[in-house]
Amino acid sequence: DYTKFTIGDEDANGARPVTMNTNGCPKSADYASAAVKYCLEFTIDENNAVYNTDGNLIYSGNTLIMYMGFSAEVSIKDGTTQIASGVFMNNNVVTSVKIPDSVTSVGVKAFNGSGNLKSLEIGGGLKDIAADAFSALKSLQTIKVSADNPYFKAENNILYSKDGKKLILCAARNGLTELDVAEGVTEIAEWAFAYHATLRTVKLPDTVKTLGAYSFYECRAAESFYGGKSLESIGDYAFS
């Protein structure tokens, strides 16, 4: 039974040993992730110059690089500036995430397929959201964005660019059944409405020109869709 996972400080040769208090554990950090699912406790030596942890999240400097899955409610520590690619990808433990004001970027597929994520709070500093960062979130109910964020906003649990021209993500479990997309929106992002559970009718304004790939993927309740006169591009699998 793997119960403790420790990353030590550098030795005289510059190596950072990975040890666990059981037989048959990985001897190298290259294999550390293979044993994480058996782990009940995770610590990193406070003198380690590269990595640090709160026991649930692992950081390299100011970048969040790994989620251990010990707590379903995740509060990323203040001072973090980046969330690396794939940190929460296909994770079914995390249910809520709070991104502090210090975070400026979220990596590719950082939260892709987080099947039980219900609540997402975005701080005032987030500027860059990479491709598929918040895609395929089947259980998402609420999206909140700090009023101080100059790049993004949330209305009725829908994430938009601050200028309202790009609709980025609609919470799949926000309870909407009918939606008239606001005038002024020009783009519906990839995966924006994917897996929405209750949406039956959608009406796009004449300002919308682009529907991204997978934008209405697996919207099983959908009955009616109206595209405005300016719609000129429909991405792959937008209505699959």
Tell me 56's DSSP state: S
At residue 69 the predicted structure's pLDDT band, cuts being 50, 70 and 90, is confident
Q: Write the single-letter amino acid at 100.
A: P
pLDDT computed for residue 42 by the predictor: 78
Instruction: List phi, psi (to 5°) of 70.
Output: -80, -25
Instruction: List phi, psi (to 5°) of 157.
Output: 60, 35
pLDDT computed for residue 31 by the predictor: 39
| Mean pLDDT computed over 139-153 | 98
Residue 108, CB-side half-sphere exposure with 13 Å CA sphere:
1
Pairing of strands 57-60, 51-53: antiparallel
Structure-model confidence comparison of residues 171 and 4, the more confident one: 171
From CA 193, how far away is CA 27, in angstroms rounded?
44
Secondary structure class of 191 (helix, strand, coil) = coil
From CA 60, how far away is CA 120, in angstroms rounded?
23
Model confidence pLDDT, tens digit, residues 89-100? 999 999 999 999
Model confidence pLDDT, tens digit, residues 164-207? 999 999 999 999 999 999 999 999 999 999 999 999 999 999 99
Sheet holding 73-75, edge to edge: 73-75, 96-99, 119-122, 142-145
Secondary structure class of 30 (helix, strand, coil) = helix
pLDDT computed for residue 41 by the predictor: 75
pLDDT computed for residue 68 by the predictor: 87
- Which residues, including other chains, have CB under 8 Å from residue 39's CB and lie 6 or more apart? 2, 3, 4, 5, 20, 68
Give percent of the chain above pLDDT 90.
78
